[in-house]
Amino acid sequence: MAVPGKAAAFRLPPLPTIGEIIKLFRLRAQKQLSQNFLLDLRLTDKIVRQAGELTNAHVCEVGPGPGGITRSILNADVAQLLLVEKDARFIPGLQMLSKAAPGKVHIVHGDILTYKMEKAFPKYLKKNWEDEPPNIHIIGNLPFSVSTPLIIKWLENVSNRDGPFFYGRTQMTLTFQREVGERLTAKTGGKQRSRLSIMSQHLCSVENCFTIPGQAFVPQPEVDVAVVHFTPLVHPKIQQPFKLVEKVVQSVFQFRRKYCCRGVQILFPESERLKKTEQLMMAADVDPTLRPVQLSMSHFSNLCNVYRKMCDEDPTLFAYNYREELRQKKRMRLSKNLSSSEQIEEEEEE
């Protein structure tokens, strides 16, 4: 019996199962898009529970596919659900769900990598960055092919406080290959410590919630899947622009099995590489014989702060690109070899 004065929680009416939806609309997961369907509603419910209390929340689901997680989100009694789906084959099945939840669902046929999230939710939901997170959540069973570029894009949005973080410290609950999930949450010294570890943990509280075995998906991927929850931090652990932090971290992990100074070297042109590297390592108080996985967040913060100071002193430094220098040297060698061979041919003709 319903409690007097309290509205009953929303529940979807009886609908075809996800398996029946797949058969009805002749849906097949496309391998080139790394699509995998999750049919077990107990698991989709478990994913949605990791997002926290969703009653009256505004949610964006990324890549809903046939709508398994979508059903679990709607059954959590959300206020509004935005579905962003790139694959047009799934739209009719999602429209069926939309009709079953009148006024709750908005479907966008588009690419989440280019979709403008600043206008996705009502302005009144916006909160100050220092406040508790807004009642907005991003949830998604991400295709493996898009998961890493998408989380890097969103981490940059966190740093800039734009995109879905225009509204405040929007929380995310997303799936990744288990190995990627381990990288996102790896601690100092862990074998999975990587660029993703630093970029995510300096901006967010990151929790590897649980692992879903590969056999729970259709078709079955070769790997298990991690469910990871992100809450942006009020204060990032590295107080520098995203692009600068990314450049330093990428450089350090370029040679992950060597001493960290080897990666730091490629921040500088060859002509001043050894001198500048020694200067940076000493000023940052980082032992050059540590391996990249042994560097703490404090180490990376020091490296970024000192590198920023060096870039301020030499405005051309940040634009330096190690790979471009290698390409130029290769072109020069090829050009020199070509000139030498042409000269030899001319001498033989004489």
φ, ψ at 114 (rounded to 5°): -120, -5
CA distances from 295 to 47, 188, 202, 283, 326 (A): 32, 6, 13, 15, 27
* pLDDT, tens only, 118-137: 989 999 999 999 999 999 99
**CA–CA distance, 165 with 121 (Å, rounded to integer):** 11
* pLDDT, tens only, 238-279: 999 999 999 999 999 999 999 999 999 999 999 999 999 999
Amino acid at 164: P
Which superfamily does CATH assign the domain made up of 242-319 to?
rRNA adenine dimethylase, C-terminal domain (1.10.8.100)
* 203 annotated as ligand-binding: no
Confirm if 177 and 97 have CB atoms less than 8 A apart: no
Which 3 state secondary structure label does DSSP give 225? Answer: strand
Residue with the larger pLDDT of the pair 12 and 166: 166
* 40 annotated as ligand-binding: no
Q: Is the pLDDT of residue 286 over 80?
A: yes
pLDDT at 24: 61
Sheet hosting strand 136-140, strand order edge to edge: 105-109, 80-85, 58-62, 136-140, 171-177, 225-232, 204-212
What is the H or E stretch that residue 141 is in? none
* 280 annotated as ligand-binding: no
How buried is residue 159: exposed, middle or buried, by Cβ count under 10 Å (0-12/13-18/19+)? Answer: buried
Q: Is the pLDDT of residue 35 over 70?
A: no
Arithmetic mean of pLDDT, 159-184: 97
Domains 19-232 and 242-319 equal at CATH topology level: no
* 160 annotated as ligand-binding: no
> What is the domain partition of the chain in residue ranges?
19-232, 242-319
Between 178-185 and 144-160, two packed helices, what is the crossing angle to 10 degrees?
A: 20
Q: How confident is the model at residue 1 (pLDDT cuts 50, 70, 90)?
A: very low
**CA–CA distance, 56 with 174 (Å, rounded to integer):** 20
* pLDDT, tens only, 62-94: 999 899 999 999 999 999 999 999 989 999 999
**CA–CA distance, 159 with 129 (Å, rounded to integer):** 11
**CA–CA distance, 337 with 191 (Å, rounded to integer):** 43
**CA–CA distance, 12 with 163 (Å, rounded to integer):** 30
Arithmetic mean of pLDDT, 320-328: 90
* 270 annotated as ligand-binding: no
Which superfamily does CATH assign the domain made up of 19-232 to?
Vaccinia Virus protein VP39 (3.40.50.150)
Confirm if 128 and 165 have CB atoms less than 8 A apart: no
**CA–CA distance, 54 with 32 (Å, rounded to integer):** 33
What is the H or E stretch that residue 139 is in? strand 136-140
Q: Cα 251 vs. chain centroid, distance in angstroms?
A: 19
* 111 annotated as ligand-binding: yes
Which 3 state secondary structure label does DSSP give 350? Answer: coil
**CA–CA distance, 325 with 262 (Å, rounded to integer):** 16
